[in-house]
Chain A
Amino acid sequence: MILEVQGLTVQFPTRRGTLTAVDSISFSIAPGEVLGVVGESGAGKSITGLAIIGLLEPPGRIAAGEVRLEGRRIDHLRHEEMRKIRGRRIGVIFQDPLTSLNPLYTIGQQLEETILTHLPMGRNAARERALSLLREVGIPAPEARYGSYPHHFSGGMRQRVVIALALAAEPRLLIADEPTTALDVSIQAQIIALLKRLAGERGAAVMLITHDMGVIAETAQRVAVMYAGRIVEIGPVRDVIHSPRHPYTVGLMGSIPKIGTREKRLVQIDGAMPRLNAIPPGCAFNPRCPRRFARCLAERPELLSAGSSRAACWLHAST
């Protein structure tokens, strides 16, 4: 396992009490595997990513749980140590390529800086490596574009450069937070394919955070569905999408419009995800769940075995 997260809890102390943004989640990612983390706004998926790479904005903090990278704990490291790990062993791709790249430096300079920071090699070797990375991510004529600035590139090209930067130091774990959301659908497809191929070739583990189930279907082998800071379902992508076991996942899949269906009305989950300061006791989804019963209001369900997936739902309790 490259990444193991156990019981991770992220909290934000505020004047009016402590808000729990991520509530005791556990998952792992094997080498070469892409795990999709899907959920709507406020579900806590981005915060999970930030917690893993140590970029939580204070006063947010990891209140409980462990994060292990290749067996070694990283959640309690100091800033300096974490900084060395970020970039070298964990690569990160954020949503907006415009702000992920420094507009004042050429892409060549930014790539070289990352390579030289993390790998022991000379400037010329770094340049060669940077060029080969650019070629790998599909930038045409990389030598000519080496000295260009980010604003000379289109959105899709910029995101390719960001991927090159993330891969520059040969990380074991890649965290991609909505990497294709800001891109057009035709470019999105290109970037997804690229990410999948490069990660597979390197045997890196990928944590793909997105709200778009379609992207998950194309890219991931397993998927974790998050709701109100918890994982409500986790399992192989095919199973979660085609036979969801948690009522929220069922509702979510039903609300996604698909080309070619004859249905003219979408499945609708009434209400909205609870705010962090108003999470109901028991199962967080219970107020909106068409299948709730007494136990749902009282006890928070653990992830229970349901077919080849696991779902946090009392419907799957074995008694």
Chain B
Amino acid sequence: MHLLKLQSVSRDFDVSRPWLNRVIEHEPRRILRAVDRVSFEILKGETLALVGESGCGKSTVARLIAGLYAPTEGRIEFRGRRLQMIFQDPYASLNPRWRVHKIIAEPMMFLNGGKPVADLLVQVGLSPDDADRYPHEFSGGQRQRISIARALAGEPELLICDEPTSALDVSVQAQILNLMAELQERLGLTYLFISHNLAVVSLVADRVGVMYLGRIVEMANASDLFARPRHPYTRMLLDAVPDLDMSGKSRTPVAGEVPNPLAPPAGCAFHPRCPHANARCQAEVPRFLDGVACHAVEEGRI
């Protein structure tokens, strides 16, 4: 049974120049389609990851689900009672003027009761004495722990994690990822995990959605996606990840750059960089079938 369901959700941003400039320079309105008809479900207890490079819309999807933006089109259905979010920047996600106990206790305003702050601190690996301190007295990793404690205070069923470890050192990242896995097991949480780091995603996710220019191009079980990537962009992304094993296996060189999202290519957004693109790819947007949005896959060409 799904805990969260998105149906054809889109989000536009009006990035037009001010009215006066537009009139003088005869410019049309400029609309940025950050999320384009995205649909997926998250099942209770699983970790769904959304992965992609900058500008693909994954963070916007997170914010749509969290209610920070309203969808321009489509529906978001949340079957749980509460959701919470943790953010990327450990330095900006805690109010520098609030003490830790106040930060963590804030979500409990909307509950009847709630756990003692000291318990929450211990749960995330900090000490109850830390409750009286200010955020600037803690390191990046510790601040993320405080953010996690705050999220847990709200007793959520769904936790949206927007690049929670991208700003942390690798050894600190390991601590936080281990903590999050442990908490998920103990508290039965469901995670939506946003990241640009494929290796991290391969560790934490049950299912993975790959996004490119606002659309989901592939969605599969993590093991399937990493072993047998189908969409050309997924393959390219995996090839681009540096090979720590130094196996020396040959990889397709990566071509081009992400196009300007204000002027996305017609048809399949990836076609200018795709080695398998044909005329149909340039004209027609591929439909999302059987976990992949690609004409070449549909036609059996790859």
Asked whether any CB of A lies within 8 Å of a CB of B in the complex, the reply is yes
Q: Identify the A interface with B (CB < 8 A).
A: 40-41, 154, 156-157, 184-190, 192-193, 211-215, 217-218, 237-238, 241-242, 251-252, 254-261, 264-270, 272-273
Residue among A185, A190, A260, A273 with the highest chain B CB neighbour number at 10 A: A185
Interchain CB contact under 8 A, A255 and B171:
yes
- 16 A–B contact pairs at CB < 8 A? A41-B169, A154-B258, A156-B257, A185-B241, A251-B171, A254-B174, A255-B170, A255-B173, A256-B170, A256-B199, A257-B197, A258-B245, A259-B226, A265-B181, A269-B171, A272-B139
Which 4 pairs show the lowest CB-CB distances between chains A and B? Answer: A214-B242, A255-B174, A40-B169, A266-B174
Q: A257 with B177: in contact, given A40-B170, A186-B236 (CB under 8 Å)?
A: yes
In Å, the complex CA distance between A40 and B171 comes to 8
In the complex the two chains form, is A266's CB within 8 Å of B203's CB? yes
Given known contacts A186-B254, A268-B174, A272-B141, is B203 in contact with A257 (CB within 8 Å)? yes
* Any A CB within 8 A of the CB of B243: yes
Known: A212-B242, A217-B244, A266-B178. 13 other contacts (CB 8 A): A193-B253, A211-B170, A217-B246, A218-B243, A237-B246, A256-B170, A257-B200, A258-B245, A264-B181, A266-B177, A266-B203, A268-B171, A272-B172
Cβ contacts under 8 Å, A211 to chain B: 169-170
List chain A residues, Cβ under 8 A from B141: 272
A41 to B168, CA, bound (A): 9
Closest to A267 in B: B174
Interface residues in B154-194 by Cβ distance below 8 A to A read 169-175, 177-178, 181
Question: With the chains together, A306 CA to B64 CA distance in Å?
Answer: 53
Given A251-B171, A272-B172, verify A214-B241 contact (CB < 8 Å): yes
Q: Does B240 lie at the interface of the complex (its beta carbon under 8 Å from any beta carbon of A)?
A: yes
Number of A-B contacts (CB under 8 A): 113
CB-contact partner of B240 in A185, A217, A264, A272, under 8 A: A185
CB-nearest residue of chain A to B242: A214
Asked if B143 CB lies within 8 Å of chain A CBs, one says: no
Q: Would you give the 0/1 interface string for B217-248, flagging 1 where the beta carbon is closer than 8 Å to chain A?
A: 00000000011000000001111111111100
Residues of A near B200 (CB, < 8 A) are 257
Distance of A186 Cα from B242 Cα, bound (Å): 10
Q: Is A258's CB under 8 angstroms from B244's CB?
A: yes
CA distance A111 to B244 in the complex (A): 35
CB A130 to nearest CB in B, in angstroms, measures 22
Closest chain A residue to B259 by CB distance? A154
Say if the beta carbon of B108 comes within 8 Å of chain A: no
Beta-carbon contact of B258 and A184 below 8 Å? yes
Judging by beta carbons under 8 Å apart, are B226 and A241 in contact? no
- B residues 194-212 with Cβ under 8 Å of A? 196-200, 202-203
- Are A217 and B254 in contact, CB atoms less than 8 angstroms apart? no
Q: In the complex, what distance in Å separates the CA atom of A257 from the CA atom of B245?
A: 12
B246 and A238 form a contact (CB under 8 A): yes
Neighbouring B residues of A186 by C-beta, 8 Å: 53, 236-237, 240, 254, 257
Does B171 lie within 8 Å of A252, measured CB to CB? yes
Q: A185-B237, A186-B237, A189-B254 are in contact. Are A217 and B242 (CB under 8 A)?
A: yes
Given that A40-B171, A189-B240, A213-B170 are contacting pairs, would A268 and B178 also be in contact in the complex, using a CB cutoff of 8 Å? Answer: yes
A157 touches B257 (CB 8 A): yes
CB-based nearest B residue for A238: B246
Instruction: Give the residues in chain B near A188, CB-CB below 8 Å.
Output: 240, 242
Q: What is the distance, in angstroms, from A284's C-beta to the closest C-beta of chain B?
A: 14
CB distance from A163 to the nearest CB of B (A): 16
* Assembled-state Cα–Cα distance A215/B203 (Å): 19
Give the most central of A41, A157, A212, A241: most B CB within 10 Å: A41
> In the complex, are the beta carbons of A214 and B244 less than 8 A apart?
yes
CA distance A69 to B245 in the complex (A): 33
CA distance A261 to B198 in the complex (A): 13
Most A Cβ at <10 Å: residue of B181, B202, B239, B254: B254
Confirm or deny: B16 has a beta carbon within 8 angstroms of a beta carbon on chain A. no
Decide yes or no: A154 and B242 within 8 Å by CB, A211-B170, A213-B170 being known contacts: no
Contacts of A264 in B (CB 8 A): 181, 203
Looking across the interface, which residue of chain B has its beta carbon closest to that of A182? B54
Question: B200 CB to closest chain A CB, in angstroms?
Answer: 5
A213 with B169: in contact, given A190-B254, A193-B253, A265-B181 (CB under 8 Å)?
no
Q: How far is the CA of A65 from the CA of B237 in the complex (A)?
A: 44
| Partner among A187, A242, A257, A269 whose Cβ is within 8 Å of the Cβ of B202 | A257
CA distance A41 to B239 in the complex (A): 28
Residue of A nearest to B260 (CB): A154
For the complex, what is the distance from the CA of A101 to the CA of B244, rounded to whole Å?
32
Quote the shortest CB–CB distance from A49 to chain B (angstroms).
18
B243 surroundings in chain A (CB, below 8 A): 214, 217-218
| Closest Cβ–Cβ distance, residue A94 to chain B (whole Å) | 19
| Pairwise interchain contact A218-B242, C-beta atoms closer than 8 A | yes
User: Which residues of chain A are within 8 angstroms of B198 by Cβ–Cβ distance?
Assistant: 185, 259
CA distance A101 to B234 in the complex (A): 32
CB pair A215 B242 closer than 8 Å: yes
Cβ of B236: which chain A residues have Cβ within 8 Å of it? 186
A68 to B203, CA, bound (A): 44
B167: nearest chain-A partner, CB-CB: A41
Q: Report the separation of the CA atoms of residues A261 and B244 in the bound assembly, to the nearest whole angstrom.
A: 12
| Least Cβ–Cβ distance between A316 and chain B, in angstroms | 22
Residues of B within 8 A of A217 (CB): 242-244, 246
- Nearest B residue to A275, CB-CB: B139
Give which listed residue, A41, A154, A242, A259, contacts B199 with CB less than 8 A.
A259
Q: Which A residue sits closest to B179, measured CB to CB?
A: A268
